[in-house]
Structure 1
Amino acid sequence: MKTLAPQSPVETLYRAGRKTFIERVPDGGARLDALFHTAPALGELAVGVVYGYLHERPGLDPRLQEAAIFAAIVAAGMVGPPLSVHFKTSLAQGLPPGELTELLLVASAFTGFPRAVATAEQLNLLFTAANLPSPPPPPPRAVALAFCDSVRRGQPSFPVDAQARKLLRKPHKLSLHATAADRVLVESYIGQETTPRGTLLVRVAGADVVQVRAYLPTPN
């Protein structure tokens, strides 16, 4: 009986990482093969570490992880393949274009304007290639925050029911968290409470709110 030689740890990670990359990037396999044609061992190591190991760690959700990677790319001035690749993977993980430009703006204050401007120039090309509007719509959190303010002023930009109005009215404190390119969770607190009185799911499309749904805790 023929026994198979065990895979090396790097090869195992590479196989997992390549699968992840292909799932997230159109023509990902062909892109990896072309990028690492001359140095396949480098491809195995890089793809295995980034997409086989780091992407499987549970400490950060995929959106936050991609945001950290994008900011690091801006800080390092990597406007070549790392930027174009993680532009695609960021979108695939639910970072809308508006969040990417916000990350660029924040990173510019720490990494310097020359690198940020070089990144902006490349983003122009990437937006065009992806048929994305430029400049992009506001990030979903900004859209949801403006919506909450409109409800508090008594002039909601989107019709809401009584439960939603109650959760959004003052003196309720609001905590907003974007969870995808089109969704924001809004938690409503009173005073120093650590348990929200309720949560709203706000769906956005571009610069508009298109759905609001309130969720209240179930009584014990």
Structure 2
Amino acid sequence: MPRIVVLTGAGLSAESGLGTFRDVGGLWSQYDLNEVATPEGFARDPVRVHEFYNMRRANCRAAAPNAAHIALAKATEQLGDALMLVTQNVDDLHERAGAQNVIHMHGRLDGALCHHCDHRWPAPLVMQADDPCPACQVAATRPDVVWFGEMPHEMETITSAIAGADMFVAIGTSGTVYPAAGFVDIAQDHGVESVEINLDPTSGRFDRILQGKATETVPAFVRTLLNS
């Protein structure tokens, strides 16, 4: 059975109403990324950062999985361990669609992290800067997401899987944020077929490009994949 690694990005959840960094007039455009998506910004103003992520959490809660999430969930069910699903997204739409064992390389909005003792627990819908950690009681609660300047989760597992795969598929990702932007290079270096599914091509580094809305292209791609 072929070994496939699928990477999903913000473009996959955009059709569920969750904005991307580049949306004009969206939630991200109202904030300076240096102030709400870096450890330094959190240290300067944790109240503002929590305000931002409380809005993102509410936005995520109100969204629903779309046809692309559902198709990928079906692929994980039918292919099992032969498919590794990795996402740059911090929403839980893959899981709500039924996908299992998703690797969230940038963490999750529905998680909380103590930056004093590294304890993790499910996040409430609203978090505040003075919330105590349930483990150490220190008021050091932050969203369990990976900010700019921090190392994404499970990088060794992901890169090893891509290097040993038969196919690497990138869906709805801009191809500009490293280290994920370098995954296609790993695939190319190891002779792994690479496929990009996106509204617009991001680079000339992929072997195949499927252009269009994720809700249309991803289900069609998954049907072909499962029937091959």
TM-score by length of 1: 0.22
Identify the structure with the greater strand proportion.
2
Structure whose alpha-carbon radius of gyration is higher: 1
Larger helix proportion of the pair: 1
TM (normalized to structure 2)?
A: 0.22
